[in-house]
């Protein structure tokens, strides 16, 4: 899966500009289904199989957008002021490099702070693209970019920008390859604009009207900070119980736990006090649906160098494919 992760994470596609990553994913899954379409918000929707008497229509979503920057002002000096696409943490920005979709590279830094020991807020930061004035600046207001950081292997762990949520896209692709004679109609959604209020999953769920929904995303692994009630890197996929946007259906939590235990897949339970996923909007689409989520532990979320453990990634593939390949009896 390493080559797939490298290909996905090194593709630049921030929220609202997902066409690049969409075509990369389409090329990976085109042989797996004859029912592939793109909806009005740009989400890639892939349907596999038909619903049988023992089956359900199941929506599985992983978002393909990533956090980014957007030019808000160009100063006379040529320095570029910027706003955010998705949540940017100011402590990660100074010294980071970005690449705009038009190919222009730049480095982020900030105005001289009053206190060198304090984090400088984003509104005091700028992107230096090498321009000497606003006249020769190669970007303009509205141009967008992403972190410029390559994929690197760290033993059985890997680091890259946009592992949130390209790692879940990889999990979904690999799980699709393992589907054999599922009794369900499976609708896989590579959703858009999750980082800006889950817009793609909102419209996709409304159209699909699934009987059951599962979101795939990363979750912060804060084990190195000694913070309790968080998941650890390397201890398996996390079955979400609750985050700030949704409560998982308890029947789905039990079903996921029982499936993991039956297949001897290590797992963790997740109660998250920061952030949410596409599951939030899927759960309340139209008349609502039973919804759960699988999370991949990730260090340094929303930074230029996120880190995941490949055992956790493979465990998520194993658990998701086991869930989808068999009849479902919620209790």
Beta strands in 64-143 (DSSP E): 68-74, 80-85, 97-100, 105-110, 125-128
* Kind plus residue range of the DSSP H or E element containing 319: helix 310-324
Give me the torsion for CA of 109, 113, 115, 120, rounded to 10°: -50
Identified catalytic residue from 18, 174, 185, 194: 194
Return the structure tokens found at 297: 């532990």
Q: What angle do CA 179, 215, 157 make, to 5 degrees?
A: 80
Return the structure tokens found at 32: 């797996």
C-alpha dihedral sign at 121, 127, 132, 134: negative
Distance CA 63, CA 54 (A): 29
Residue where the block lists tokens 């089956």: 55
Give phi and psi for 70, each to the nearest 5. -140, 130
Return the structure tokens found at 59: 């929506």
Task: Calculate the alpha carbon distances from 1 to 13, 57, 91, 270 in Å.
Answer: 20, 28, 31, 25
For residue 269, the cross-strand partners are 239
Beta strands in 161-289 (DSSP E): 185-191, 212-220, 238-242, 268-271
Active site residue 23: no
End-to-end alpha-carbon separation of the chain, Å?
34
Q: Which residues are catalytic?
A: 194
């Amino acid at each position: 899966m390493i080559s797939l992760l490298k290909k996905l994470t090194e593709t630049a596609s921030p929220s609202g500009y997902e066409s690049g990553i969409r075509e990369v994913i389409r090329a990976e899954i085109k042989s797996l289904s004859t029912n592939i379409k793109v909806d009005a918000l740009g989400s890639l929707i892939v349907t596999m199989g038909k619903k049988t008497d023992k089956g359900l229509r199941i929506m599985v979503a992983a978002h393909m957008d990533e956090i980014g920057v957007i030019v808000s002002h160009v100063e006379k000096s040529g320095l570029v002021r910027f706003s955010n696409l998705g949540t940017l943490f100011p402590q990660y920005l100074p010294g980071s490099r970005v690449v705009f979709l038009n190919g222009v590279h730049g480095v982020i830094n900030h105005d001289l702070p009053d206190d060198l020991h304090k984090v400088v807020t984003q509104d005091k930061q700028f992107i230096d693209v090498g321009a000497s004035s606003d006249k020769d600046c190669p970007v303009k207001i509205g141009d967008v970019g992403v972190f410029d950081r390559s994929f690197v292997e760290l033993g059985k762990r890997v680091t890259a920008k946009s592992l949130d949520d390209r790692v879940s896209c990889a999990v979904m692709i690999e799980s699709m390859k393992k589907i054999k004679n599922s009794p369900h109609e499976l609708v896989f959604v590579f959703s858009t604009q999750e980082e800006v209020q889950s817009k793609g999953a909102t419209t996709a769920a409304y159209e699909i009207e699934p009987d059951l929904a599962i979101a795939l995303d990363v979750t912060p692994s804060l084990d190195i900070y000694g913070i309790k009630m968080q998941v650890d890197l390397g201890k398996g996929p996390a079955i979400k119980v609750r985050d700030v946007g949704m409560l998982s259906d308890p029947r789905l939590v039990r079903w996921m736990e029982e499936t993991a235990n039956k297949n001897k897949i290590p797992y963790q339970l997740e109660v998250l006090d920061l952030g949410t996923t596409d599951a939030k909007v899927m759960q309340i689409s139209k008349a609502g649906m039973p919804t759960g989520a699988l999370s991949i532990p990730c260090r340094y979320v929303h930074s230029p160098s996120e880190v995941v453990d490949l055992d956790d990634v493979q465990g998520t593939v194993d658990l998701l494919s086991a869930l989808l390949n068999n009849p479902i009896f919620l209790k």
